[in-house]
Amino acid sequence: MSYKRIIIAVMSMLILTACGENTESEISSEPVVTESTTEKVETTTTTETTKKTDKTTATKSTEKKTTSTTVEKTTESNKTTTVTKATESNKITTAVKTSATTKTAETTEKVTEMTTEAVTEPESKYDAEFNLAETPYIEITKGGDYIVRGYTAEGQIYINTESEEKVEITLDGVDISCPTSSAILVNQAKRCIIKLAEGSANYLRDGGNDKINDGVIFSNDTLRLKGKGSLEINSGNAHGIASDDDVIIESGTYIINALKTGITAHDDITINGGDLQISGGTNGIKSKGTVNINGGNMYISGGEKEEKSSIYASVSFSYTGGKVFAYGNQVTPPAFTPNPYIVVNYVNGISAGNTIGLVLNGAENAVLSPQKNLKCILMLAPDICAGDIFTAYLNGTASSDFIISEGQNIFTIE
């Protein structure tokens, strides 16, 4: 082999070796470059991602800010809108509510009025209430409390409780005329109370020719009258108030005009109070039992017949209080009085239409204007005492003075 070929072979090997190293270097460097590039790429990507993230974050942040701003704006807008709407709404609502409130107020007022009426007006204590204009003939068959009002020219209150129960009837502005019998007829009741409503004015009249139920108020059982009103009784048949049992007057104002006796009872008559003005065609008060006067103020006039009295008691007459001026032809003297009493006898009688004054110790006690002729006057009063001076005046002319002594004092005037 020549030196030339050897040199070329060596050179070729060197070149190949060099080329191999370069290739390895290039291969070796490529991964580095690749890694570097990758790192760069990754870095870049990361950076970009970060940037994107930052951008995103920034965007999100911006969006949040924007959202926040929007919210704030919206909130402000909402606030404004809300206020505006609220204001408008309130205006509208207020108007509506005001209207509703007005209606409600009206309703409430009505309800309140109804409620007030319901609360203010107490629940009726009566078992029944009657108006004579609607029910002229009233029949009560059970015990209880009843109230009657109104007017009837032809009617009656009829009481008939089979079990003999207690009945209380309140008269509150009653005007009853019964052409054929009693205006109030108690056929049967254990006890009947007639009460005059406070401040009320009541009127009763009867008629016909009923010989059994012969009073404007007639009762087969005990009859009690009381109240703070007034009752005027005008008889067209016989008596004013009549009972086959007892008659008891507790209070009230009574004006009784009777063809026969003003108040009559088969048993006892008791007057504990009230103001009475009684004019009887026969007797003023007549009892087949006792007459007991314990209080009140009364003017009692009897009829003109000789045998009739202003006060007549078959058993006895007892006085414990009140003022009594009884005048007529005769009088039953009281069996018991706590203080002296006066009887004035006019020998020649006194004609109707005259005026009589009764004076005690210079003070006028009563003035009488009799509608019938009379001969006798009975005066009972708690302030009559022994030693007092009594004087009777006839049409302004005085009698002689009389000195009161204990017990009965009969003064005769010619």
Q: What's the one-letter identity of residue 247?
A: V
Give Cβ neighbours of residue 137 (< 8 Å, ≥ 6 apart).
Answer: 155, 156, 158
- Enumerate the β-bridge partners of residue 410: 343
pLDDT at 7: 56
Structure tokens at 338: 């706590």
pLDDT along the chain (414 residues), means of 10: 53 50 40 36 35 38 36 36 35 36 43 46 83 97 96 97 89 97 94 96 96 96 97 97 97 97 98 98 96 98 88 96 96 93 95 96 95 94 96 96 96 94
pLDDT at 162: 81
pLDDT at 11: 59
pLDDT at 122: 61
Check residue 199 and report its DSSP letter. Answer: T
Among residues 239, 237, 278, the alpha carbon closest in space to that of 260 is found at: 239
**H or E segment to which residue 28 belongs:** helix 3-120
Handedness of CA 37, 38, 44, 47 (dihedral sign): negative
Handedness of CA 397, 398, 399, 400 (dihedral sign): negative
- Enumerate the β-bridge partners of residue 170: 147, 195
Q: What is the pTM of this model?
A: 0.71
pLDDT at 4: 56
- Let me know: does 194 contact 222? Beta carbons within 8 Å: no
- Let me know: does 342 contact 390? Beta carbons within 8 Å: yes
- Let me know: does 176 contact 154? Beta carbons within 8 Å: no
**H or E segment to which residue 230 belongs:** strand 230-234
88-93 long-range Cβ contacts below 8 angstroms, 24+ apart: none
- Let me know: does 356 contact 350? Beta carbons within 8 Å: yes
pLDDT at 111: 42
